[in-house]
Amino acid sequence: MEKITDLDQLNKLLAPCMKRGVLTNNYLMYKDYKQYIEQGVLYYIKGRSGMLLFRDDGNHWRLLYYLSGFEDDFPLPEDKPSVMEVLFQAGGKEHEPVLAYWQSKGFKPYLPRKRMLVPAVEFKAASFPAGTVVFAQKKHAPAISALLSASFDRYLGCIPSQEEIIAGIERKEFICAVDARDRIMGVLEIRRRRNLYTIRHLVVEREFRGRGLARKMLAFLETIVEKDAKIKIELWVQSNNPAARRLYEKAGFSYDGLESVGLLYEP
């Protein structure tokens, strides 16, 4: 495994992979690559018929693959787990050889998810919950970090660092349900990229569940989303979480047929 140190090096590595027939799970954008290279966390392994990119996420390696065949026996890191996601359309078969290949290398499937979408103009959560839900402040960052870390998968949960949370708070990407003592009862994290909003996290602290707080945070989100016919809101929900799916369906979301399966390799 070798470190990628600049964008020119990365472009030369990726050029042979950008052709028809190459299978990949990599959908990173330029600014993502730039950030990871600057942080010194991006590595690669080349094979005869493919290449792997590895991002060092602290407690695991995040794996992104390019495969034009299944002949390579890539050496996997043995210092900590490696994880990846494989996306596919429901009912399709194209992903099955990929899953079989990685399972033959010791990866195990876990954390299946489905994507749900709603056009912004059709997003209807509830009436505005005055006083209960607010934009997060910097003082909330430690509590937000603790709640997200305790609630989402440590590998594929996309849990932000406290520094990332603070930066997101400054961009108004974190919405919180708070009680009279300013305790965090729930968190909603939203990102926008062009005409797409993504709900990255939505969670309510266990002791405060059953009060409709998730619905109220979605209602707050409805007040700040730009209602334009070109804009959509997306999220990924675990396939085995029917309660969450019902919540989103009531707000107008529907399953669009795109699914993913997480793969985990534990040395």
CA distance 189 to 159: 11
Q: What is the pLDDT of residue 35?
A: 92
pLDDT for the residue 125: 82
**According to the model, what pLDDT value does residue 126 have?**
72
Picking from 81-85, 90-94, 114-118, 202-206, which range would have the lowest pLDDT averaged per residue?
A: 90-94
Residue range 164-195, pLDDT digits in tens:
999 999 999 999 999 999 999 999 999 999 99
Strands (E), the chain: 2-3, 23-24, 42-46, 50-56, 61-67, 82-89, 108-119, 133-135, 174-178, 184-193, 196-204, 232-238, 254-265
Residue 234 and residue 198 in contact, taking contact as beta carbons nearer than 8 Å: yes
Across the range 142-160, mean pLDDT stands at: 95
Q: What is the mean pLDDT of residues 119-127?
A: 87
pLDDT, tens only, 228-244 = 999 999 999 998 899 99
pLDDT of residue 173: 98
Joined together, the tokens standing for residue 18 give 């950008």
- For the chain, percent of residues with pLDDT exceeding 90: 88
Are the C-beta atoms of residues 122 and 252 closer than 8 Å to each other?
A: yes
**Rounded CA separation 262/99 (Å):** 10
pLDDT exceeds 90 at position 258 = yes
Q: How many CB atoms lie within 10 A of CB 30?
A: 9
pLDDT of residue 166: 98
pLDDT score of 129: 58
Q: Average pLDDT for residues 134-154, to the nearest whole number? A: 96
| Tokens (6 digits) for 60 | 């695991």
Residue 73, pLDDT above cutoff 90 = yes
User: How are beta strands 61-67 and 82-89 bridged, if at all?
Assistant: parallel
Asked whether the beta carbons of 133 and 126 are under 8 A apart, the reply is no
- Superfamily (CATH H level) for 119-256: Gcn5-related N-acetyltransferase (GNAT) (3.40.630.30)
Model pLDDT, residue 128: 60
